[in-house]
Structure 1
Amino acid sequence: MAGGIVNLRAARKARERAEKRAKGDENAARFGRTKEQRTREEADAARARAHLDAHRRDEE
């Protein structure tokens, strides 16, 4: 028998920890932004909106 003795409970817990870690990393990539990043993105969006509004033509 090649491979040795494996504690099934420890293997299961290690697998579950790895799955939770992967899901957490995925969520961090999707939703995780620092406060600085959020405020910078909001400021950029506001600046772009103001720039477009300044160049808007009046409809008569």
Structure 2
Amino acid sequence: MGEIVNLNRARKAKAKADRAVQAAENRVRFGQTKAEKQKRRAEEEKAKRDLEGHKVE
């Protein structure tokens, strides 16, 4: 005889594995390293400072 399989457990395990794969893809696609985040923030702050410096009162 074959092995008895709980279908609910198998379904949930497959769904969990699918979510893990999707999460890994999202981390690669949308994730940024800490250095990239710091660089982006520094560029935004510089742009904001430059804009404030050009304002005429």
> TM tier, shorter chain?
0.5 to 0.7
Cα RMSD of the aligned pairs, angstroms, is 2.8
Structure-2 separation of matches of 1:42 and 1:55:
20
Instruction: Name the TM-score, length of structure 2 as normaliser.
Output: 0.60
Using structure 1 for the length normalisation, give the TM-score: 0.58
Letter in 2 for 1:52: L
Distance in 2 separating the partners of 1:19 and 1:35: 25
Identity within the alignment, %: 19
User: Matched residues in 1 for 2:16 and 2:48: separation?
Assistant: 46
> How much does 1:45 deviate?
0.3
Aligned length: 50
Following TM superposition, where does structure 1 have runs of at least 4 consecutive aligned residues deviating by more than 2 angstroms?
Answer: 11-16
Please report how far the alpha carbon of residue 20 of structure 1 lies from its aligned counterpart in structure 2 after TM superposition.
Answer: 1.8
**Residue ranges of structure 2 left out of the alignment (5+ in a row):** none
